[in-house]
Amino acid sequence: MSRCCLLMLVVLVESVLGPERLLSQSPPRPDNLTVMQRLFDEVAERVMGSVPSESEAPLVVAPIADPTSPAYLWRARLVMLAVENGRSVFAKDSTMGAPGYFRIDYQLLACGVEYDLVRRGWLWKKKVLQRKAAVEVDIEIIEQPAGRIRIHEVFRADFADTLRASELSRLDNPPHPFAVGRPSNQADDANILEPILLALAAGAAIYALYSLRSQ
């Protein structure tokens, strides 16, 4: 029994004091809204790269009313990039006084942040999560006034990094619900299991020390 307790104690100490391999010192990581804006930019650049270039025809991109919605922010990045590329952008077909333009129809299929469990926290070990963000947009580029679909494609951009659970409060952006991370089922289970694991580990250590002293 004493050898078993000693082995348990050694394993416990090594797991607590062992080298940190998952995370290292690094500059402050971007918050969720910044990450999502980068993904918006990536998708917008790919969409603009797909717009037919003949005669630099104007673009029509329908507006979004809600300024806090992800579709509104994504459209803003697309319009900004289009203007930087020398394109004229309008909100409605009815504003076009001359033929020969492209209408960009879009639907945001996915947009959000999720936290997956990488390592449960116990004793001095910190809980580690993986942050995953994604933006997916269904795009139709229609040549007007002919109504011919020139491009119909789904554009997606992804991001992932690893972080400590203690960082979450700084990364979430409550004014923008899509920039507030959702825990996966595995991460939710960890919140329940961590106190149990902590109690079991502490109890094992105390029992091992007491057994060794009593020999």
Low-confidence ranges of the chain (pLDDT < 50): 1, 5-7, 9-25, 187-194, 196-197, 201, 207
Query: In this predicted structure, what is the pLDDT of residue 185?
Result: 65
What pLDDT score was predicted for residue 27? 67
pTM: 0.72
SS3 letters across 67-109: CCCHHHHHHHHHHHHHHHCCCCEECCHHHCCCCCEEEEEEEEE
What is the pLDDT, as a whole number, of residue 2?
A: 52
**In the chain, where the domains are located:** 2-214
Give the pLDDT score at 93: 85
Q: Say what the pLDDT of residue 28 is.
A: 81
Predicted pLDDT of residue 18: 41
